Amino acid sequence: MKKIGSLLILLGFFVVSCSSDDSNGNNNNGNATNFLPVATGNYWVYDVQGSLQNGRDSLYVANDTVIGNNTYKKLKTKFLASGFFSGALSNNGTRISGDELLVSGSATIPFSEEFPVSIAISDFKIFKEGAANNTQLDNVSGTINQTYEGVPLTIDYTLTTTAKENLATYSVDDQTYTNVKRIETKLSLAISANFQGLPIPLMSDQDVLISSQYYAEGIGVVYVDTRFQYELGPFGAQLPIPQSGSETQEEILIDYEVE
């Protein structure tokens, strides 16, 4: 059994799974929010400070890409992302619709190399400028059935985004930003196995990921605070991951260029 190097980052990756073709088209849908400017060439550099690992991420807007009937901006990182937010958007389709930011693809959750889990996402709402405090922006729930070493597994998931407080000013790392909005992303999972027709709980329903992203008008995300933790039940030893895990992480904006 291989141990995970960084459980948190593995939870964060969003990989576009639908058929797409690169395009030079634009994606202007009316009065667009300016809390994540996505003009091609824009970039953000984050200092990543975690309880298990540190790093530096360079997230940038690479090009337009067409998914279904919509044009999205494809964001990429210069190297493999260390942080949750950069990892979540890298190689992902993101588009602006009015005052909303939408993501399409699938969230891949590889607890270990042997045990990946994918959650389908279609125009999942990660931000809404006009949302009031504690307004749920989006929610996707479902069940994934897969087999590990001949044992059928059932994975129930719920992924939600919620608008939190609006801040007139927000300071981090000796920088002060104005008109900042916090968004909370939460992932809940429960895992059970089927042994000879009997369901056996391996992990009870629990919030394994809670992350806050701070969006500053005209700039983008300036700070991310993410906490990951889980604990398997008595029968959880059947899974190829440690029986419990936890990690905290901060992503702090240190450089950017936007149009």
- 3-state secondary structure string, the chain? CCCCCCHHHHHHCEECCCCEEEECCCCCCCCCCCCCCCCCCCEEEEEEEECCCEEEEEEEEEEEEEECCEEEEEEEECCCCCCHHHHHHCCEEEEEECCEEEEEEEEECCCECCECCEEEEEEEEEEECCCCCCEEEEEEEEEEEEEECCEEEEEEEEEEEEEEEEEEEEEECCEEEEEEEEEEEEEEEEEEEEECCEEEEEEEEEEEEEEEEEEECCCEEEEEEEEEEEECCCCHHHCCCCCEEEEEEEEEEEEEECC
- pLDDT digit string, tens, across residues 177-234: 999 999 999 999 999 998 888 899 999 999 999 999 999 999 999 999 999 999 999 9
Class of domain 7-257: mainly beta
Contact predicate 29/96, CB 8 Å? yes
Which residue's structure tokens are 């045990």?
A: 115
Whether the predicted pLDDT of 25 surpasses 90: no
- pLDDT digit string, tens, across residues 115-166: 677 788 889 999 999 999 999 999 999 998 988 878 899 999 999 999 999 9
Average pLDDT over every residue of 228-248? 88
The pLDDT assigned to 126 comes to 96
The pLDDT assigned to 15 comes to 37
Whether the predicted pLDDT of 10 surpasses 80: no
Separation of alpha carbons 101 and 9, rounded Å? 21
pLDDT mean across residues, the chain: 85
Separation of alpha carbons 146 and 143, rounded Å? 10
Confidence tier at 35 by pLDDT (50, 70, 90): very high
Average pLDDT over every residue of 107-114? 65
Confidence tier at 4 by pLDDT (50, 70, 90): very low
- pLDDT digit string, tens, across residues 79-105: 988 899 998 888 889 999 999 999 987
Greater model confidence, 11 or 250: 250
| Range from 3-12, 60-69, 91-100, 215-224 carrying the lowest mean pLDDT | 3-12
